[in-house]
Each structure stands twice: as structure tokens, then as C-alpha cells.
Amino acid sequence: MKYKAKKQYRLPYYNYASSGYYFVTLCTKNRLKYFGSVQNGSIILSDIGRIVERSWQYIPRSSSFATLDQFVIMPNHLHGIILLDNPYEDRELTEKRFEIRNNSLSVIIRTFKAAVTARVREKHPSLLLWQERYYDRIVRNEKELQIVRNYIMNNPLQWEEDRNNSINILM
């Protein structure tokens, strides 16, 4: 079966199993606020939000090549930094190859989303939790890493202006 002719959101010629820092954002379906609420600049997690948190923190145990850095769970999305340590993976690919690679960022995210969905569906069988795909950014240097860490850390303080806050989404 041929690979689906969908728009590709990953960077062409980049090996997402390469060692390095990756900034990811995962959103809920229709940006519904399943994970909790923000009160006075702090996130108050719901039961589903606590499942997301426990599952996120489990990533290094299920993927020994991955380490978690700064992360925040917001009412309808999660921001996190993941460090991959795959020293034998080439950084660049010689051709565009959109395939699942072992020890890659996509494997981590797919496994994480599936685990959360399975746990949530025990209590909410028909809930469509996740937006398809996810946003990623390859963190290129220490300065950018610090900027992303600060963004994540301050995200709850900026919730009222956040474009992911459904109050701010134009219908």
C-alpha cells in the first residue's frame, strides 16, 4: 500500500531519531479544555490532565533514549521539550523519507498519545481526545533552548492571551 498523499509536516531530509532537543505541542481535539483550567496563572489539572501528566513523565521509562526537559500541561494542549540520545543516528538524510524510524520523536508521541487515550477511554469510552498530528520544532542551540524553556514555564501566566484559549478563537 502506498504512503498516503497527505501534506507532510516534518522537516524534509531530517532524521527525527537524531540526538537533540525537540519542542513539541500536542492539542486536544477541537481545542476542548479536557486537561484542566488556569487560575491565577497556575494550572489546575483535571483527572484527564493528571493522566496526561503521569503518562508524559513515564516517557523516559518506556523510551530509554528519551529524557524530558521542561513541560507544561495547559487546559487544551501540552508543551514539552524532549531530548533524544541516539548517538549512532545520522543527522541528515540523503533523500526525503517519511517513515517511522525506531527511537524517533514520532514513535514517542504516538506511544504517548495511545497510552493516554487508552487510560482515558476506561472512563470516557467515546471521547475523541487528540487533534491529529502534533507541532514540533527542532531546538538548534542553547539560546533557543532557553527561550523555549521560558516560554513553557510562563505559558500559564499568558493563558488569557493564548491563541489556544478557546475564548480567543474566532468562530
Contacts of 83 (CB under 8 A, 6+ apart): 19, 20, 21, 22, 66, 67, 68, 69
- Would the pTM of this model clear 0.75, i.e. be above it? yes
CA angle, 11 then 16 then 19, to 5°: 130
3-state DSSP call for residue 6?
coil
Query: What are the tens digits of pLDDT across the range 20-71?
Result: 999 999 999 999 999 999 999 999 999 999 999 999 999 999 999 999 999 9
Q: Which of 4-18, 23-37, 69-83, 141-155 has the lowest mean pLDDT?
A: 4-18
pLDDT given for residue 100 in this prediction: 58
pLDDT given for residue 93 in this prediction: 47
Query: What are the tens digits of pLDDT across the range 95-137?
Result: 545 555 678 899 999 999 999 999 999 999 999 999 999 999 9
Q: How far apart are alpha carbons 107 and 21 in whole angstroms?
A: 15
Task: Determine the residue type at 90.
Answer: D
What dihedral do alpha carbons 146, 40, 127, 6 form, nearest 10°? -30
Assign domain 20-157 to its CATH architecture: 2-Layer Sandwich (3.30)
Q: How far apart are alpha carbons 63 and 103 in whole angstroms?
A: 8
All three cell numbers of 124: 470516557
pLDDT given for residue 170 in this prediction: 40
Q: How far apart are alpha carbons 58 and 114 in whole angstroms?
A: 13
Q: How far apart are alpha carbons 112 and 129 in whole angstroms?
A: 12
